[in-house]
Every structure is written in C-alpha cells, then in structure tokens.
Structure 1
Amino acid sequence: MRFPIVIHKDPDSDYGVTVPDLPGCFSAGDTTDDALSNAVEAIECHIEGLLLDGGKLPVPETVEHYRNEDRFSDGVWALVDVDVSKLSGKAKRVNITLPERLLVQIDSFAARHGDTRSGFLAHAALEYVAAHDDQ
C-alpha cells in the first residue's frame, strides 16, 4: 500500500514525518532519506499494533485529500510503499484454483514489480478487504 506522508523541518531539528492516515503515527530522521526509511518502519509498527488489537487495516487516502489542510501547509508530500502482507501474522499454505490466463497476468505483474505470486495475492486481498469492509 502507498501511504502519503508529510515531511517537515523546523530550524535546529531533524526532519519530522506525519502520516495523515494513521493518527498518532510519527517519525523523524537526520536526512530526508532517513525520514523516508523511518516512516516506513513507523507505519509498519503502527499497523502491526492496529492488527494485533483487532483493528482494521486503514485505506490510505490520496495526497489531494489532505493537501489543503492548514496543518500540512509547511510540509513536503511524499508517498511510501509499505508491504502490509507481511504484517498479517504467520503464513499458511492454501490451494486455490484460478484461470490460467489470470495466473499468467498475476505472475507477470508480480515479476515486473519484484514480487511473488503469493505476495501479490496477499497484498491485493488485503487492499480489497480494507477498501470494501463496511464493519
């Protein structure tokens, strides 16, 4: 999942990171690169805590959704990729049946994006459930 983040810097401080989609999730770094790396780790830890507490996986909004909010006016927007499929606990092997043409498409897409079939399917399922779960 791609989460929008806001990077901000006050004089005499590190680069701070705010994750608008995850209230209470903050990070920082000595450089912008550190701030970006630390943001991914902070998001993973925050989501892991939500899932362990029985919470739902949040669906990230777009940058445009937050762009005009005053609290983010002095920051720089970035997007960070977080592999939420690895945060769901222990892996379990399953057997599913899919049309061969679809498997070829899945494998091709996953390979182009440096992923595996299982990783892609887990990621896609988590995003779908997060986007469509009304409870």
Structure 2
Amino acid sequence: MLFMVGIEKPENKNSAWGIVVPVFEELGYGCVSAADSQAELLYRAKEAILTMAEEVIADGHMISALDRGFADYQADYPSFERWLAVEVPVEGLKGKQKRVNITLPEPLLARVDAYVGFHNEFKDRSDFLAKAADRFMQNS
C-alpha cells in the first residue's frame, strides 16, 4: 500500500529529522517518528507505518480503509517540506498466527518455559518469544 510520508528537516545538527504519516489520523491515530540521519528516514518511516498498521488491525479496523494512494498533505503540514510516497506491504498484516519451526538449546528452552510459568503476562511460550522479539527490535 502506498503511504504519503512528510519529512521535516532538522533545525540544527543536534536535532532529528521529523516523520509524519497523516493518513492514520483518519482513524483517530497519530503516526510520527524521527530519524537521526537522512539515510535512516526510509527505514524509520516504514517501521512507523508497520507498527501503526499492526495497532490499527489489533483494534479491529480494516487496513484497506487507509488506502488513499498519492495525496497532497502539504497544506495541513506546512513544516514538512518534503514528501515521499512510500510503498509498505501492510496487506499481509492480518493478525493471524503463523506457525514457525525454530531451534533452541534445551537449557534455554527450559529457562523460557520456567519464566513463562511464573509470569502471568504471557499466555504461553510463543507469546513470550513474540513479545521478547518485539521488545528487542523496539529497543534497537
């Protein structure tokens, strides 16, 4: 799906590049991010779109409701001087579970199972591994 992404140039060398994806506001969400360098803009924009699309789906909205294609948001976002049309494959985000086969050392698997057994915030081993992977990627 095509998303229009606004880019705000940093005010000085100690500021970040601003990123906005206005189409999410139509469903009552805000989608903003920042990048430390110009080279990082596309990655951070796609990351923000995918993260917000997952939230939209989890809340029961159809992601196809956001399909606006090329749109001009310049008048509503004058501080965002540059605009990118970014293709992000959100159609595959259906919220369905997918079985994967992974290999873990037995001692690690035992530790994971023990941890999950004592922490009620995880439904099961798969839930723990999914949340751990997501947290790791958000923190990097």
- Which 5+ residue runs of structure 2 have no aligned equivalent? 99-140
Residues 36 and 91 of structure 1: CA distance in aligned 2, closer, same or farther (over 3 Å): same
Map residues 44-83 of structure 1 onto 2, 5 A cutoff: 44-57=50-63, 58-64=66-72, 66-67=73-74, 69-72=75-78, 74-83=80-89
Q: CA deviation at 1:52?
A: 0.7
Residues 6 and 90 of structure 1: CA distance in aligned 2, closer, same or farther (over 3 Å): same
What is the alpha-carbon distance in structure 2 between the residues aligned to residue 85 and residue 70 of structure 1? 27
| Contact 1:5/1:79, CA 8 A, preserved across alignment | yes
What is the alpha-carbon distance in structure 1 between the residues aligned to residue 22 and residue 37 of structure 2? 20
TM-score (norm 1): 0.58
Q: Is 1:42 the counterpart of 2:44 in the alignment?
A: no
Q: CA deviation at 1:88?
A: 1.1
Q: CA deviation at 1:59?
A: 1.5
Q: Which one has a bigger Cα radius of gyration?
A: 2
Partner of 1:4: 4
How many equivalent residue pairs?
A: 90
Partner of 2:21: 19
Q: Which amino acid aligns with 2:37?
A: T
Q: Which amino acid aligns with 1:90?
A: K
> For residues 71-96 of structure 1, what are the alpha-carbon distances to aligned partners after superposition, in whole Å with 9 as ceiling and x for unaligned?
2354201111110133113378xxxx
- Matched residues, percent identical? 36
What is the alpha-carbon distance in structure 1 between the residues aligned to residue 6 and residue 83 of structure 2? 5
What is the alpha-carbon distance in structure 1 between the residues aligned to residue 38 and residue 9 of structure 2? 10
Q: Secondary structure at the match of 2:22?
A: coil
| Contact 1:63/1:77, CA 8 A, preserved across alignment | no
Q: CA deviation at 1:62?
A: 2.1
Q: Secondary structure at the match of 1:85?
A: coil
- Which 5+ residue runs of structure 1 have no aligned equivalent? 93-135
| Contact 1:25/1:42, CA 8 A, preserved across alignment | yes
Residues 44 and 34 of structure 1: CA distance in aligned 2, closer, same or farther (over 3 Å): same
RMSD between aligned alpha carbons? 2.0
| Contact 2:3/2:87, CA 8 A, preserved across alignment | yes
